[in-house]
A and B are shown apart, each in its own frame.
Chain A
Amino acid sequence: EEEVVESGGGLVQPGGSLRLSCVVSGFSFNNHFMSWVRQAPGTGLEWVAVIKRLSATYYMDSVKGRFTISADSAKKSLFLQMNSLRVEDSGLYYCVRERGDLWGQGTLVTVSS
């Protein structure tokens, strides 16, 4: 069965860092776009970052220079390194394949003092 499972969320103070992980199973990781998408409580979805074929990366403007998306094909894992976190970065972070055809359950990030 194809699956993605996120981990690494938690409570962090403004200015702090977190590293999210997503382990994939049931499909070949190398041949897909992989993304992180977030959802603040009670609001809509934001496409945060994409990595294409394990190389090219794209970021939404508000996280450029603070977040880094990366992948390790040997570990079948996607990562999101989040630095200089802000209160507005809080939300449920989903690992997503391609243009939304497979979603994880999400990992919750709370940035608060």
Chain B
Amino acid sequence: DRVMTQSPLSLPVTLGQSASISCKSSQSLVFRDGVTYLNWLQQRPGQSPRLLIYNVSNRDSGVPDRFSGSGSATDFTLRISSVEADDVGVYYCLQTVGWPWTLGQGTKVEIK
């Protein structure tokens, strides 16, 4: 199984400052079609998860442009350029290149 390791697991941030979350996979997430199947999900308190980023760097519909994704093969990063109160929650990376689809442990973002 592809093991997804996120860091940090807890991320206190100041409003308006930037934040970065790392996600590392135990195997490459590049499929034979050339697409890298790495997504980022956001789960606000008490809500269902929501897709933020798909295929490493593509924002889903309606996602603010302060969210960006980058990386390749096994190392990926989610960046929030200017954290707002609405960004509090848990962020997960998700790989869907091969079964079983696996997620990172989650990174809890909170406001200092």
Contact = CB atoms under 8 A, between A and B. Distances in A.
Interface of A: 35, 44-47, 50, 58, 60-61, 94, 99-106
Contacts of B37: 99
Contact of B41 (A58, A100, A104): A100
Interface of B: 37, 39, 41, 43, 48-51, 54, 60, 90, 92, 94, 96, 99-106
Chain A CB count within 10 A is highest, among B101, B103, B104, for B101
18 contacts: A35-B101, A45-B41, A45-B43, A47-B101, A47-B102, A50-B101, A61-B100, A99-B51, A99-B54, A99-B94, A100-B39, A100-B49, A100-B51, A100-B54, A100-B94, A102-B51, A103-B48, A103-B50
Given A101-B60, A106-B48, A47 B39 contact: no
Nearest to A104: B48
A101 B54 contact: yes
A92 B9 CA distance: 22
Contact of A58 (B48, B54, B92, B100): B100
B92 A44 contact: yes
Given A44-B106, A99-B94, A100-B39, 19 more contacts: A44-B90, A44-B103, A44-B104, A45-B106, A46-B103, A47-B94, A47-B100, A47-B103, A50-B99, A58-B100, A99-B39, A99-B51, A100-B41, A100-B51, A100-B94, A101-B51, A103-B49, A103-B50, A106-B48
A45 B92 CA distance: 9
B78 to A, nearest CB: 14
B51 A94 contact: no
A44 B51 CA distance: 15
